[in-house]
Structure 1
Amino acid sequence: MSGLFSPEGGFSVRILDMSGANGAEPVETIRGFLTLEHANAFARRYVRDSLERCRAPGMAADAVLAAWFAYGEDAEIEEGGDQAWKSAKELDAFAAMPPSDAEERNWRVLDPRADEDDDEDDDGDETA
């Protein structure tokens, strides 16, 4: 297997509270990513968004990182092995430079649970 296609049931992304309030347990585990690329893109955007929510105007990069480690959320890809995206590889760059566009933070469009919600709407039940 190349690592790009999912194990049975798909890849999972664990959301971790950096404050430690949840201990080593994830705050949430999101399942159903069909490819590792999908899980990687979701995790990257999720962490980018979390870090940006910790940034105040004019904050230095080291202060942004300190705030993220105190209040942010990390994302880990289960079953991804060496090809899984890791936040540690990009945190410094994220902290040093705010994103150039909102798309870099939009993890919601990649969330497999959104597909489940869309499927429920297709049952003929109208939601207004």
Structure 2
Amino acid sequence: MSETEDTAPSAPQDKGVIVRLLDLSGGAEDNIIEDIKGFEDIEHANAFARAYVRDNIEICRAPGASARDTLDTWFAFGENAEILGEAGGWVSSTELNEFIERPASPEERDWRSLDPRRDDPSLTEE
């Protein structure tokens, strides 16, 4: 093996940005639902994670529920998303209050259009 082969990038770096989906209810092992790869760049991953959490909060929002009730429901039964190992990765805590206070539009919730798995289901990490 040559010296250049010894310093070649490892496979995980070749995967690009990974978004991890987390089960806040504790129902999944280590709270991890799945890892999703295949994002074009950090901006694509951030947009997906943001829309995914936005949608999940709306799923937890009951008609007439207060912001506090919605937040409590999300923490008890919801799902979060985080960007793995990337500087500049979106973090839900930076916008959580806004998400809870203001219901999302359909466009803000549309994580499916940003999901790299829609064209390649093999992009789910196990």
1:31 to 25, 34, 37: 37
Q: How many residues align?
A: 109
1:58 to 59, 64, 88: 64
1:75 to 62, 65, 81: 81
1:89 to 88, 94, 97: 94
User: What is the TM-score normalised by the length of structure 2?
Assistant: 0.82
Question: What letter is aligned with 2:114?
Answer: L
**Offset of residue 23 of structure 1:** 4.3
**Offset of residue 60 of structure 1:** 0.7
Which range moved further: 58-67 or 16-25? 16-25
1:104 aligns with 2:104: no
CA contact (8 A) 2:46 2:89 kept: yes
The residue number in structure 1 matching 2:117 is 113
Match of 1:75, SS state, is: strand
Distance between the aligned counterparts of 1:80 and 1:19, measured in 2?
Answer: 25
User: What is the TM-score normalised by the length of structure 1?
Assistant: 0.80
Tell me, which stretches of 5 or more residues in structure 1 are unaligned? 1-6, 118-128
4+ aligned runs moved over 4 Å, structure 1: none
CA RMSD of aligned residues (A): 1.2
Question: What letter is aligned with 2:70?
Answer: V
The residue number in structure 2 matching 1:8 is 14
